[in-house]
A and B are shown apart, each in its own frame.
Chain A
């Protein structure tokens, strides 16, 4: 039996009514995913290839490499079907739900990428699907809301609290508690009660498996560093998992780039953190079924997080990442909203790739460390090195509306002339 924890993190802190479903899911995870019973993993890999478009390329970014005087490789999860790494997990879980004989899918979504991927996977596998989404995120991510509807999913607005991912997760857990006998809840990241953090990681680990092979083909060696953005942490752990032994050996440094938002502090009076950097600045606690690092006040109330990227806007993080940070195998860093927007524009300009605002945080970290005006901070012993793999978790088409709005508020060097919108 698989352990429910990573060190002290993880576990299964959920209402009793959900425990049987979690035990049933744990059993299914162990049999189908770990043991490949009934050829589950073979079918998953085949569908990832044919429907999803795997493997995704590992592309050398020539202009960025020249700018930083290093070999920068982009793992192009933005080229996966649906435009983000999220499909790996959504397809895995919807397929697993089928194998388990479930009749219906529910999911929650922040930026809409997970909701979109789940809606696509559910349509592909002919399963009815409902997606819970915060009202505020619905307004921030209209194209993704429309994509979910196009794929036949119901989108249910969640209006409590500030209407973001945290509230959507609460609401989906409630819905699951009511319908647990015939419904599977597709959690969108490496968060939640066991077995979700492990299972989602296993579905996403294909990113790092491919990247590790590809970089050895292309660069002839392991990378000095792997860089990925971290909200809940599914693309992060997906990219890192295969490299964790290399990190333990000291060959590769794993950088988890969090959303620094407007600054790394917590306003306890307002119950708000103007950032989403739970690995960098959170305290251990219990949220949404798992013990992990959280943004909370001194009493233990979970505070509202913030990021310019709604996909990173979450007060918790996967328990495995919390554990790996404590063990010294993953280095958490953060970049702020302004830098992420710069990264968004820079990659679009110099490489012809519009990154998701989430991934733009990872891009910005490179500029911060290696760019002409960069100020490398606190990572002297663990620098990026000469061969860098950056996980480009998704494409930025979904973010164009917020990118326009946020760019107009700022003075961004790499941005195009915004005057065109006012003529």
Chain B
């Protein structure tokens, strides 16, 4: 079992917060990541900024632009990761072209071109990758490189994913499966979609843990997601919003990141209580 799997499938429900590395500047990230860990994060997802983030909504896109403007290159991202002092596993979320172009080699098989990135990521302390524009059908070269360096490869399951594609993912996924709670791109939303219930039911037999994301911003969302049966909750835009606002009267960015993480974690714990309560009721 990988570190990520252990962290998400542990005794209590887990929280996977996201921030974009280098937003608003590379120097800020370490403090934010430590605050998220202090707030109860079990795995932290770090965005490596790419200029064309087609799977992300405007909130994260703006964060990416700030990070790029502040000079957050892939190499700078790895340097940031190397400075982090947290004991939770880290996942890098980015887009395929950055993996493909990393390193000096500009030709060769996909596996050969992807290998330097994965090796560097593993050395820097990254435990898993989420590459939203790499479909499972094209993922074998990256899967091979990830296996070589002990890095998990996490896939996103959408409400629209077909059974055939689910099966392909099931064979290749490791760490956890990222369940997209609704259609669209990332972004904080008012409620958690019914699609979550259906998606979790479809993944019930999978051996990897399931974390649900897209639109999670409140304690109640986390509670509902975990009560529905998820092992973990992924939340991004709500944290990126806090970074975007900067220090405020209610507290510094780090203080508010920690408080928000603690709030969502508490919601997840409530959801677990609710779920075990339901199970007990059902057993009677």
Contacts and interface: CB of A to CB of B under 8 A. Distances in A.
A301 B98 CA distance: 7
B133 to A, nearest CB: 5
6 contacts: A17-B183, A19-B162, A288-B52, A299-B73, A300-B98, A301-B68
Contact of A301 (B51, B61, B162, B180): B51
Interface string B199-225: 000000000000000000000000000
Contact of A17 (B53, B62, B65, B160): B160
Given A16-B155, A160-B65, A174-B57, A11 B138 contact: yes
Contact of A20 (B51, B57, B161): B161
Interface in A212-259: none
Contacts, number: 120
A15 B183 contact: no
Contacts of B70: none
Interface stretch (A54-62, A279-287, A410-418): A279-287
B50 interface: yes
A300 B102 contact: yes
Most interface-central of B132, B136, B157 (chain A CB within 10 A): B132
A288 B54 contact: yes
Given A17-B158, A20-B162, A179 B135 contact: no
Interface in B122-172: 132-138, 155-162, 165
B97 interface: yes
Most interface-central of A23, A288, A299, A300 (chain B CB within 10 A): A300
A180 interface: yes
B220 to A, nearest CB: 23
B96 interface: yes
A369 interface: no
A23 B135 contact: no
B50 A301 contact: yes
Q: How large is the interface on B (under 10, 10 to 19, 20 to 34, 35 or more residues)?
A: 35 or more
B74 interface: yes
B101 interface: yes
For the residues of B in contact with A, the DSSP-based class is loop
B101 A298 contact: yes
B100 interface: yes
Nearest to A193: B135
Contacts of A271: 51, 68
Given A16-B132, A283-B106, A170 B101 contact: no
B97 A285 contact: yes
Interface in B35-51: 50-51
B57 to A, nearest CB: 7
A155 B160 CA distance: 28
Interface in A17-74: 17, 19-21, 23
Contacts of A284: 106
Contacts of A300: 50, 74, 97-98, 100-102
Interface string A120-148: 00000000000000000000000000000
Given A15-B133, A298-B101, 6 more contacts: A17-B183, A19-B165, A160-B61, A173-B54, A178-B185, A284-B106
Contacts of B97: 285-287, 294, 296, 300, 302
